[in-house]
Structure 1
Amino acid sequence: MDITVIGEGSADAAPDVMRLHAGVEVRGRSAAEAFAGARAAAARLAEALRGAGVAAHDLRTTELSLGPEYQAYPKVSAYRAAQGVEAVVRDLARADHVIDTVAGVGEEARLNGIVFEVSDPDAVLATARQEAFRQAAVKAAQYAGLAGRPLGRVVSITEERHGPPVPMARTMAAEAHDTVSPGRQAIGVTVQVGYAFGD
């Protein structure tokens, strides 16, 4: 006979990477004009991001589109071309500067959002696992006591990592010139631990 309990643990850390989703959008009278304009604007954007300190290998194209816009179907009023880019910013002290750089590219520029990440979550996960396992052990000991049985060895462990990191309130104030704050992120795990009853 054995007993199975569930423990939950979480730990938080300050993100150290920002993923910036940006791009360019151009409208033209012809498909060729719109596409050429978007490609030229995208080249300017990539050059500006590299100039702002983003490494070339941290730039990734995420969208490339071209299509008509209708005034009243099937009458085409213009053509729209867009190209998107994801920029990985590894120095968060430069986050605001990189964002401002995108805005400075011109009227074609688009800012589509940012995501903060913990680049190496292993240490945070280790702390969360310790808390989850400790909680499971406390529950198992209590149930064994209620059943009047000694708690034996662990016979099974199953782990489930929680979903995407959840942003938390930042614990330290941002610098006065910063307008973008990474806050903190919680990473959690749930463990299901099976124990045998002792003799």
Structure 2
Amino acid sequence: MDITVVGEGAVSAAPDVLRLYAGVEARRPSAAEAFTAARAAAARLAGALREEGVADEDVRTVELSLGPEYEAYPKVSAYRAAQGVEVVVRDLARADRVIDTIAGVGEEARLNGVAFELSDPAAALREARERAFRDAAAKAAQYAGLAGRPLGRVVSVTEDVRGGPQPLAVTATMAESKASLAPGRQTVAVTVQVGYDFA
């Protein structure tokens, strides 16, 4: 005879890394003009981020698009070109300066959102696992006591982990006020299903 119980454990920690989703966008009468303008703005953005101290390996292209915009199909009113990047900010005290740098690129600049995360979630995950397993063990011991039988060895363990970066839209008001972004806290949660023998 055996028993299977579910244990839960959660740990809250302050994120220390910011992923900023930004980019540039240009609308021009022709596709070539739009693409050229977007590429030029993207080059200015890359240079500005480099001058701000953002390492090249912390900037990743995540979007490259070019297409028509219609006044009334099939009449084309303009062409839109965009290039998006993901910028990793490893010092949250510099986040506002990086945002200001992006906004300073010009009218082509776009801010699309942010996500906070833990640079090393391993410690929080270990603690969450310990809490979940202790919770499962306590439940199993209680059931064994209620059944009047000693609790045996663990025969199975299945884990489910939850938690991760939470996206947050960056509004124009946040960028213009230069208010510090609030990373809050991130919860890493573990649910573990543990099977025990009844001795």
- Please tell me whether residue 114 in structure 1 is matched to residue 79 in structure 2: no
Match of 2:70 in 1: 70
Match of 1:81 in 2: 81
Q: What is the letter of the counterpart of residue 112 of structure 2?
A: N
Deviations 1:10-47 (A, max 9, x none): 10111111000001010111111010000000000111
Secondary structure, aligned partner of 1:133: helix
Secondary structure, aligned partner of 1:32: helix
Match of 1:129 in 2: 129
Match of 2:38 in 1: 38
Matches within 5 A, 1:1-199: 1-164=1-164, 178-198=179-199
Contact map agreement 1:160 1:189 (CA 8 A) in 2: yes
Deviations 1:150-187 (A, max 9, x none): 111111111111253569xxxxxxxxx85201111000
Secondary structure, aligned partner of 1:126: helix
Following superposition, the deviation at residue 84 of structure 1 comes to 0.4
Query: What number of residue pairs does the alignment pair up?
Result: 189
Following superposition, the deviation at residue 197 of structure 1 comes to 1.2
Following superposition, the deviation at residue 93 of structure 1 comes to 0.8
Q: What is the letter of the counterpart of residue 81 of structure 1?
A: A
Secondary structure, aligned partner of 1:9: strand
Decide which moves more: 155-164 or 86-95. 155-164
Contact map agreement 1:23 1:82 (CA 8 A) in 2: yes
Secondary structure, aligned partner of 2:84: strand
Partners of 2:32 and 2:53 in 1: CA distance:
32
Query: Cα gap change, 1:154/1:166 in structure 2, threshold over 3 Å: closer, same or farther?
Result: farther
Match of 1:171 in 2: none
Structure 2 stretches of 5 or more lacking a match? 168-177
Contact map agreement 1:7 1:192 (CA 8 A) in 2: yes
Secondary structure, aligned partner of 2:50: helix
Query: Cα gap change, 1:161/1:5 in structure 2, threshold over 3 Å: closer, same or farther?
Result: same
Deviations 1:87-112 (A, max 9, x none): 01111110111011111110000000
- RMSD value over aligned CA atoms? 1.4
Contact map agreement 1:21 1:112 (CA 8 A) in 2: yes
Contact map agreement 2:116 2:165 (CA 8 A) in 1: no
